[in-house]
Structure formats: C-alpha cells, structure tokens
Amino acid sequence: MNRTQLVSTIRQKKTYLCVGLDTDITKIPIHLLSEPDPVFSFNKAIIDATKDHCVAYKINTAFYESRGLKGWESMERTVRYIPDTHFRIADAKRGDIGNTSAQYAKTFFEILPFDAVTVAPYMGEDSVRPFLEYPDKWTIVLALTSNTGSKDFQQLGMAEGDCLYERVLETTASWGSTKNLMFVVGATKTTELEHIRTIIPDHFLLVPGVGAQGGSLKEVSASGMNKDCGLLINASRAIIFADDTEKFAKKAAAVAAAYSAEMAAYLH
Amino acid sequence: MNRTQLVSTIRQKKTYLCVGLDTDITKIPIHLLSEPDPVFSFNKAIIDATKDHCVAYKINTAFYESRGLKGWESMERTVRYIPDTHFRIADAKRGDIGNTSAQYAKTFFEILPFDAVTVAPYMGEDSVRPFLEYPDKWTIVLALTSNTGSKDFQQLGMAEGDCLYERVLETTASWGSTKNLMFVVGATKTTELEHIRTIIPDHFLLVPGVGAQGGSLKEVSASGMNKDCGLLINASRAIIFADDTEKFAKKAAAVAAAYSAEMAAYLH
C-alpha cells in the first residue's frame, strides 16, 4: 500500500487506528482453545469485528515466535487473512548487516504479504537499506519508544547537542523518503512529539502506547498530526483483550469504534 | 552452558571458534536440493564435520525465517541436532518492550534450546532484562558491529565525551554479570578492541567478521583475549561455503581445523 492509498483510506474511514495483534495465547477466551488454531481463530474474529474501525493491523512477531512452528503458522494465516485494504505491519524490530537484513526484508515483504516492518537503527545504514529497496513497502524505524528504557540510550545527549533519537530521525530520514519510511514514536512521549514534528514534519509516525501503556490519544493527535494525518496510532491489549468471554470480538469492536470516533473528531 | 563449562571447553579443545550457520539455500551444493529438508541436511553434514574443531555454533535466524515455515522447521531441527557440548547462539538481534522481549526470550530459551541470543540495545534496560532472567542462559548485546553502518550511530560522540558504543558497554554491563552477558564486537574493529577491554576486561565477546568480512584472527586474538580467553570468534561463509561440491563438509572441516590450529597457538 503506497502513501496515496494510505492517506486516502484514512480520509475515507475517518480513522487512523491500528489494531495490534499481540495475541498471547494465555490471554484468549478459553472456549477458543479447542479450535485447531486458537490464535488464528481469535485473530480472525478480531479482524472481522474491527476492520471497519481501523486502517491497519500490527502483528507483534514475538507472540507468534514464542509458540514455535505453530506460532508461525498462526502468523502466516493471520497476515494472509487481513484484507489488502488494510495496512499490514510486522512489528519485528529486525536489523542486521546488509546481507542478513536482505533476508529479513524477503521474509516480511516476499514470503509474507506485509506492507511494513519495524526496524532497529543501531547497526546503521546498511542494516536499513535492504528494507527500503522494495517499492510500495515501508520501513518503520525505531526513534523514541514508549518504554522506560528509552531513557537509557535514545534520550542521551550527543556531542553536537542533540539527543540520539533526534540524530536517528535526521540521519535515517536521509536514507529514504516520506513514501517509504515511517518512525516509531511512543504515545507516552507527547512532550517530545511537537519537537519531533519540527525535524520530520511530513513522515508518518507509528505510535504505540495508547491504551495499556497509558498514552493519551488526544495529546498525541494534537502534537503529532500533519496535513496528511501522518499518524497510525496503535492499541493492542486495550482492544483485543477488552473482554475474555464469548463476547470478546464484540467488545473489541466497541473499543476500536470508540477510539475511531474520537479520531474522527481530531481529523481535519 | 555456564561460564565455567564454556571456559573449560575452550581450554580442552584449544579453540574458541564459533561456526556460523548462515545457511542460504541458494548457496548450498545442488545435490542436496533433492533432500526432504536440504538446509538441515547441509547443516547436519557441517556440524558432523566441524564439531571437533569448534566450541560454538551460531544460527543466523534471518536465513531461516526467509523460507517461512519450512525455514523454521530447518532451524528447529538444526539447533536440536547441535550437541549440548557446544554453545548454541541464536543470532536474532531481538529487542522490544518488556512484555514482548519476554516472549522472545521464551522463544529462544524455552521453545528452542539455545544457550544465548543476540539482542539490540536501542530500547534500553527493560528490553534486555527479560533475557537476563534465565539461569545459565546468555544475552549477547550488540556493541560495536563489523559493518560500515556502525559509524552511523555506534561510533558517534556523546555529550559526556564517550561514544555511543562505549556507553552501551558501560550501561549494559551493569544490568548483568560476566556470567550471563556477552557483547558483539566486530572483527573489523581491532583498533577499538584494546580500548574495549579497558571498559569490560572480563566479559566474553562474540566476534563476527573474520573470513568473508575481512577481519584478522591474529589481531582480534591479540587485542581481545583475556585470562579466560573471553572470545568466541565466528566465521560463517568462509567455512560453510568453502566448497560447493559433494566435498563441501570435508572442506568446511579443513577450514575450521585451520582456524582452530591458529587459535591454539594464540591461547595461553
């Protein structure tokens, strides 16, 4: 999905919600555990129920890998089930030397039909480039994350006066364009968001941390939105685990719809 | 495998060689392609041929993931085939917020029988901690990598006068001990190695970049060795793809044996 299509979908549906499929098998409703692939059955129900209220899904690969082969089967089924009208993100946080990153890019862009993959910047340009070489695919680079550990390195001051995350934004932005590069900025970092918009006014941001992690949708939207919206705001646990009974999908839809109704009011 | 066992294995076998199983299916000998699992058949032959000449194997997860489900099957078979007399490294470069890193730790330490996993430090303490919580398992944090991109962020100067990679070494070392934490330092960084040893004299280092990437075994050993050896030096392509005929395993063994003979001379 290219930028024009993404922006047009956001305008049409009046939402910039991304539903995070962090599907922990120990947290899904008990009645699903007798299904042949409980995680896929759960995701399928969540996707069916929420697809009108979101523009993107984000699959957190860790929750699938931790079930071994069965988990990868659930992930494959899930990403193939997401309609191609939706932006499909592999939240994988990969990154390695060039020939290895090329293999990861192949995994998520050729073997699996993801539109985007999250990438860690620590190893520099040749670790990010292979992802950028795919037309109409997106690389989402970690900039300022939502967790407490973001202070350990990301927010440290550099010799030239800026912080590491600012340097990551500036340098990485020069490797791609606003059409193939996004950045992860945590929803708990609203103070920094306005400043980040002075560095990268036009890029899309993937913003996790609304919901279970406590970020404010209102504040993120006020500080981070640009003329093309420029935001994909992710909520995972707050939507998919809103209820653990047979009504889980209905409840997930209601929570997603509530987020989207709020987003519609912020879109201009 | 704990530190005492690792050091004792190195002393006994007089080698600190790690064989990297970056098994690209497009590079394995053609006659293996008719096997049910060509990548596993290749790895099995390499392991059988090289196990007397090395103390560790490093599986680069990217080369397995890029073949989807089949690739994960090959990876599972391979890690289960490596004798537990050898140190088994998942070169996965993972790292995410705490609850997600815990899932990755489960993947490599519970679902799969790895002794160690490589982790990217960008997201800070809570992204690394879950890996450190497993007794007798190891977290190998990226510090100064072998690729050209290491200059983009790792080697940048910080406000307090050090470089980012030095800060990563100092800060991360305080989260674990010399018994559960190692660092990745590229073999192409011999100038920095002596300096790195002033920061972390006692930790083990995983050193990729010998062989195809051009690092010198002699220089790395001279600059990086400590009283417990403290080095695992990895070669991947130079060993496993030394030959592409039916003699590939024999040739791999010869190359591994040559590295090990050189290492025996450097060990004191």
In whole angstroms, give the CA distance from residue A149 to residue B58.
28
Interface contacts A/B by beta carbons within 8 Å: 189
Confidence of residue B210 (pLDDT cuts 50, 70, 90): confident
Across-strand partners of B59? B21, B90
**B60 contacts chain A (CB < 8 A):** yes
**What SS3 state is found at B22?**
coil
Q: What is the pLDDT of residue B158?
A: 97
In whole angstroms, give the CA distance from residue A111 to residue A130.
15
**Is a pLDDT exceeding 80 seen at residue A36?**
yes
Q: Which of A103, A148, A153 sits opposite B121 (nearest CB)?
A: A153
User: Residue B96 and residue A96: Cβ atoms within 8 Å?
Assistant: no
% of chain A at pLDDT higher than 70: 100
Across-strand partners of B19? B57, B235
Domains of chain A: 3-266 (3.20.20.70)
% of chain A at pLDDT higher than 90: 94
Chain B interface disruption, residue of A72, A128, A147, most B CBs within 10 A? A147
Strand residue runs (E) in chain B: 17-21, 56-60, 87-94, 116-119, 138-144, 181-185, 204-207, 231-235
Mean pLDDT of A112-135: 98
Residue of chain A minimizing CA distance to B100: A62
Confidence of residue B215 (pLDDT cuts 50, 70, 90): confident
Mean pLDDT of B67-92: 98
Nearest to A187 by CA among A6, A9, A17: A17
**Is a pLDDT exceeding 90 seen at residue A229?**
yes
Output b/e per residue, A23-56; b: 16+ Cβ within 10 A. Answer: bbbeebbeebeeeeebbbbbbbbbbebbbebbbb
**A158-199 pLDDT per residue, tens:** 999 999 999 999 999 999 999 999 999 998 888 899 999 999
CB-CB neighbors (< 8 A) of A24 in chain B:
103
ipTM of the complex: 0.96
CB-CB neighbors (< 8 A) of A122 in chain B:
120-122, 142, 145, 153-154
**A151 contacts chain B (CB < 8 A):** yes
Residue tagged active-site, from B70, B93, B218, B251: B93
User: Residue A66 and residue B104: Cβ atoms within 8 Å?
Assistant: yes
**B168 contacts chain A (CB < 8 A):** yes
Using the Cα atoms of residue A129, residue A102, residue A234 and residue A151 in order, give the sign of their dihedral.
negative
**B174 contacts chain A (CB < 8 A):** no
Q: Is the pTM of this model over 0.95?
A: yes
Q: Residue A167: CA atoms inside 13 Å, Cβ hemisphere, count?
A: 26
Angle value at C-alpha B83, between B78 and B85, nearest 5 degrees: 140
In whole angstroms, give the CA distance from residue A268 to residue A191.
22
Q: Which of A62, A68, A111 sits opposite B96 (nearest CB)?
A: A62
Give A54 to chain B, closest Cα distance, Å. Answer: 23
Chain A interface disruption, residue of B58, B77, B96, B109, most A CBs within 10 A? B96
User: Residue B120 and residue A122: Cβ atoms within 8 Å?
Assistant: yes
Residue B157 carries which side chain, given as an amino acid letter? G
Q: What is the pLDDT of residue A189?
A: 84
**B83 contacts chain A (CB < 8 A):** no
Q: What is the pLDDT of residue A211?
A: 77
CB-CB neighbors (< 8 A) of A67 in chain B:
111
Q: What is the pLDDT of residue A191?
A: 87
Q: What is the pLDDT of residue B214?
A: 78
Q: What is the pLDDT of residue B56?
A: 98
**Is a pLDDT exceeding 80 seen at residue B213?**
no
Lowest mean pLDDT of A45-49, A212-216, B90-94, name the range.
A212-216
Active site residue B93: yes
Strands B138-144 and B181-185, sheet pairing: parallel
